[in-house]
Chain A
Amino acid sequence: MPGPAFRRGETVALHPINEEDIDFLHENRNDPEVRWGLTTAFPQTREQAEKRHEQHAEDDSGVGLLIVPTDADDPVGNVVGFDIDPAHGTAELAAWVAPEAQGEGYATEGTALMMDYLFAERRLHTVVARAIVQNEASRAVLEGLGFQQEGIQPAEKYVDGEHVDVARYSMLAREWDGAAAALGHGGEA
């Protein structure tokens, strides 16, 4: 079971990852559907998942949280801010939701809450996010929240037997009015 709520939204909250949640992460990070979007080509053992959990605990350059619906106890997904560089004021953001929980807007609100955290608590200046061009769901989440597409990176990843392009997005602190505003006019996916 995830730790206590760390940031609360309307339909989901972000919770710290506890040891009991490693099974959830382990299962989904190996799931072909999830890792298609993450473009991770290497299997992850349970032990590697545990080690990663421990390493993250002492690493200030990344923060990973579970997306938990407010009316449930179990996590449905994971949102991560990584490569946090406080000197330049930058970070990258990534999120995934388990296949059976997709289509409920969880990724959108989970991402928005992480943006609130990175801008309002970590005082970052620029947050970037990327998705392979075929990943329409993730791109819709980012575009719905108001991310600006910076461009397409050619042949950036190798997925399903071919090199694929990646769409790169960014949001500047001054462009972000908070999760409530972003979800209010953006609408839920």
Chain B
Amino acid sequence: MPGPAFRIGEDVALHTIEREDLEFVARLRNDPDIRHGVTFTRPESDVELESWFEDHVSATDTDDEGAQLLIVPRDAAHGTDAEPDGGSDEAADDARPAPQPVGYVSLFDIERPAGTGEIAVTVAPEHRGQGYATDAVRELVAYGIEELRLTKVRALALVTNDASRAVLENVGFRVGEVRRELKRVDGEHVDVVAHSLLADDWFDRPDTTRGLPDSPPGATAAERGHTNPFATDADGTVVGERRPDAGDGAGADQGGER
């Protein structure tokens, strides 16, 4: 059963992965219908998953800033719609169904000082087509950019993986270079399409910018009227805070209304 919610989106929440969830993750990382999309080529036993959990999910003494989170539909997590998904009966003894994960997301390879990171998403086949991946990716990007101060989030998709490419474009990723014959999938060398989402673009899209819910007035320094005491103009007089949109940042062009 997933741990507590860590980020809450519109349709899904991202929950911590606990040891009991490794069986669910094991299926996602081994099932041939799923792993080809993420180009995993090695079988992962309980031993490998255990060390993945120890090293990347539950490590306490690492400077790895990545995040691994389960995707849980919000109705299931909150137990408001008590319809057991797919006939699971382990929640029968409880009035509320246990939150059921439908997939998981990863934020990894965070590079400093550049402030870049890569994301990946996997949703179990029986839960696809309901927008879970899109909402989960949007929430993970928000985490990376708004909480970890990343400048850019990367994502890769096989050129043949229309579903993943659609998810990334819906969230606002731009299509980058085509990496030639980079992955071996089921006997063929397949191109990979690089995608990236720059923080400048992210903050230019009001529909995807969500900070903390109901942040109280006065939560930011600007709202409290604080100015930068060290900013001076040519005469040495304090000029105060710059308008946040006064920069020469790229990416003011079409935001995308997908």
Which A residues lie at the B interface, using CB under 8 A?
A: 39, 41, 87-90, 125-126, 128, 148, 150-158, 163, 168, 170, 172
Hey, which chain B residues are within 8 Å of A88, CB to CB?
A: 39, 41, 182-184
Contact across chains for A156 and B114 when beta carbons are under 8 A apart: yes
Contact across chains for B178 and A150 when beta carbons are under 8 A apart: yes
Contact across chains for A158 and B115 when beta carbons are under 8 A apart: yes
Contact across chains for B114 and A163 when beta carbons are under 8 A apart: yes
Contact across chains for B180 and A126 when beta carbons are under 8 A apart: yes
Contact across chains for B116 and A156 when beta carbons are under 8 A apart: yes
Whether a CB of chain A sits under 8 angstroms from the CB of B177 is yes
11 A-B pairs besides A90-B182, A163-B151 with CB distance below 8 A are: A88-B182, A150-B179, A153-B176, A153-B194, A155-B114, A155-B151, A156-B114, A156-B152, A157-B114, A158-B113, A158-B115
Whether a CB of chain A sits under 8 angstroms from the CB of B134 is no
Whether a CB of chain A sits under 8 angstroms from the CB of B69 is no
Hey, which chain A residues are within 8 Å of B39, CB to CB?
A: 88
Q: Give 1 or 0 for each of B104-145: 1 = CB within 8 Å of chain A CB.
A: 000000001111100000000000000000000000000000
Q: Is the interface of A mostly helix, strand, loop or mixed?
A: strand
A163 to B42, alpha carbons, bound, how many Å? 36
Hey, which chain B residues are within 8 Å of A168, CB to CB?
A: 177, 179
Contact across chains for B178 and A87 when beta carbons are under 8 A apart: no
We find that the number of chain B residues with CB closer than 8 angstroms to chain A is: 24
Closest residue of B by beta carbon distance from A173: B181
Q: Residue A172 contacts which of B177, B178, B181 (CB distance < 8 angstroms)? A: B181
**Taking A151-B176, A158-B114 as contacts, is the C-beta distance between A125 and B194 under 8 angstroms?**
no
Hey, which chain A residues are within 8 Å of B113, CB to CB?
A: 41, 158
Contact across chains for B182 and A126 when beta carbons are under 8 A apart: yes
A151 to B182, alpha carbons, bound, how many Å? 14
Q: Give 1 or 0 for each of B182-223: 1 = CB within 8 Å of chain A CB.
A: 111000010000101010000000000000000000000000
Hey, which chain B residues are within 8 Å of A155, CB to CB?
A: 114, 116, 151-152, 196, 198
Contact across chains for B189 and A89 when beta carbons are under 8 A apart: yes
Give B87-118 interface residues, CB cut-off 8 Å to A.
Answer: 112-116
Hey, which chain A residues are within 8 Å of B176, CB to CB?
A: 151, 153-154
Hey, which chain B residues are within 8 Å of A152, CB to CB?
A: 177
**Taking the nearest CB of chain B, how far is it from the CB of A152, in angstroms?**
7
Contact across chains for B184 and A89 when beta carbons are under 8 A apart: yes
Hey, which chain A residues are within 8 Å of B189, CB to CB?
A: 89, 125-126
Contact across chains for B180 and A150 when beta carbons are under 8 A apart: yes
Hey, which chain B residues are within 8 Å of A150, CB to CB?
A: 177-180
26 examples of A-B residue contacts, CB within 8 angstroms: A39-B114, A41-B112, A41-B113, A87-B41, A87-B42, A87-B184, A88-B41, A88-B182, A89-B184, A125-B181, A125-B184, A126-B181, A126-B189, A128-B179, A150-B177, A150-B180, A151-B176, A151-B194, A152-B177, A154-B250, A156-B116, A156-B152, A168-B177, A168-B179, A170-B179, A170-B182
**Taking the nearest CB of chain B, how far is it from the CB of A125, in angstroms?**
6
Hey, which chain B residues are within 8 Å of A126, CB to CB?
A: 180-182, 189
A163 to B152, alpha carbons, bound, how many Å? 10
Indicate the member of B42, B112, B177 with the most A CB atoms within 10 Å.
B177
**Taking A87-B41, A154-B196, A163-B151 as contacts, is the C-beta distance between A148 and B116 under 8 angstroms?**
no
Nearest 4 CB-CB pairings of A with B: A151-B177, A150-B177, A87-B41, A158-B114
Closest residue of B by beta carbon distance from A155: B152
A126 to B191, alpha carbons, bound, how many Å? 11
Indicate the member of A87, A89, A163 with the most B CB atoms within 10 Å.
A163
A176 to B153, alpha carbons, bound, how many Å? 33
Indicate the member of A152, A153, A168, A172 with the most B CB atoms within 10 Å.
A153
